[in-house]
Structure 1
Amino acid sequence: MPLQSVELVLDAATDAAVRGLWQALAQAGLPSQADHRGPTNAPHVTLAAVPVVTATAEEALASLAARLPLPLELAAPTLLGERRPALVLPVERDGAVDVLHHRVLGALSSPSTADEPPWVPHVTLARRLPEDLAPQALALARSLPTPTAGTATALRRWDPEARRAWLVG
């Protein structure tokens, strides 16, 4: 069963900067999120992913969405994962980001467990990079101006089975 996600939506300026990075990668002939033409494809930070989101959880998420906006610090582009890594802009984990992440997990009744990989908040620039292209994509991304700060302005839900995304709250 595909997992439904809860995501942070970025402010317009940060969204545009990330889309600019997507375009630069694509124009260089490298894999990029710009290659994903779906109408729901947008820069975001995934907070959690679970098999089912109940109506009760949706209500709790709406109350969390009311606490936004939330400032975000972004780090330099890096590779995430070993085999066919993702090219990402990491989001610095601070108290507010971690608290929101844990509250979202609590709303979803999905506490993190020891067997799950640790949560690494990030904005994806490219997924599943072939091993031979990863260094080139990283070098290009690092050579470009990248946002160092942004704002999470809303919570968004993504249901991959329905192929639908919507703002919460």
Structure 2
Amino acid sequence: MAHSIELLLDGHGDAAIRTVWHRLVDAGLPSQLRVRSATNRPHITLLAADRIEPAVDDELAPLRQRFPLPVVVGAPLIFGGGRLTLARLIVASVDLLDLHREVYRRCLPHTTQEPFAHSAPGHWTPHATLGRQFTPEQVGEALAVIDELSGDIGANVVGLRRWDGDSGREFPII
């Protein structure tokens, strides 16, 4: 199972995303709220790989000086594939992109294989997932359900964690 390095939102940003998760469930649609893991919470994945060694935590800890980092939770976003993923775009500021490049650089020596291609600088789309496995029809329904909640939201990134997909555990770094 994949491992990842993730940014965590402040209470305001977290609550805004969770409100959308609840609205989707109430409408009978896919939602991240249905993920039954103690570590399930709104986040922004910076890097994903087959395995990230725990030693990366010490490499990433000095980045604490960059937090809190203001972000804007923007428009709904749809990722394609067989089934669709609905997310909210995290507007890519210069500071956020710089943090992503630095995390990526520091993580490379601690991954057993190259990180997943969509994690690489220049290929990364910052986002917070709302739900997975949507049909095209469900995406239309979901956008109607969340329309009133789709305005830009100001938030701060306040934490950084390593998520271990093998154990299903999170390891706070900052």
Equivalent in the alignment of 1:46? 45
Call closer, same or farther: CA 1:142–1:7 in 2, change over 3 Å.
same
Structure 2 Cα separation of the partners of residues 52 and 126 of structure 1: 24
Structure 1 or 2: more helix by fraction: 2
Structure 2: which 5+ runs fail to align?
A: none
Residue identity matched to 2:21: W
Structure 1 Cα separation of the partners of residues 150 and 137 of structure 2: 24
Equivalent in the alignment of 2:74? 75
TM-score, L = length of structure 1: 0.89
Residue identity matched to 1:35: R
SS of residue paired to 2:74: coil
Deviation at 1:60, TM superposition (A): 1.2
Equivalent in the alignment of 2:117? 116
Q: Does 1:87 align with 2:92?
A: no
Equivalent in the alignment of 1:61? 60
SS of residue paired to 2:14: helix
Q: How does 1:8-157 map to 2 (within 5 A)?
A: 8-109=7-108, 116-117=117-118, 118-144=123-149, 146=151, 148-157=153-162
Structure 2 Cα separation of the partners of residues 3 and 160 of structure 1: 5
**Aligned residues: percent identity?**
34
Deviation at 1:80, TM superposition (A): 2.0
8 Å contact from structure 1 (residues 79, 138) kept in 2: no
Residue identity matched to 2:58: E
Structure 1 or 2: more strand by fraction: 2
* 6-15 or 69-78: bigger deviation: 69-78
Structure 1: which 5+ runs fail to align?
A: none
Deviation at 1:133, TM superposition (A): 1.0
Structure 2 Cα separation of the partners of residues 8 and 103 of structure 1: 13
Deviation at 1:145, TM superposition (A): 5.4
Equivalent in the alignment of 1:166? 171
The structure 1 segments of at least 4 consecutive aligned residues displaced by more than 6 Å after TM superposition are none
Deviation at 1:15, TM superposition (A): 0.6
Residue identity matched to 1:143: E
Residue identity matched to 1:39: A
TM-score, L = length of structure 2: 0.86
Q: How many residues align?
A: 166
Residue identity matched to 2:97: D
* 124-133 or 93-102: bigger deviation: 124-133
Residue identity matched to 2:129: T
Structure 2 Cα separation of the partners of residues 66 and 60 of structure 1: 13
Structure 2 Cα separation of the partners of residues 54 and 161 of structure 1: 12
SS of residue paired to 2:78: strand
Structure 2 Cα separation of the partners of residues 83 and 35 of structure 1: 20
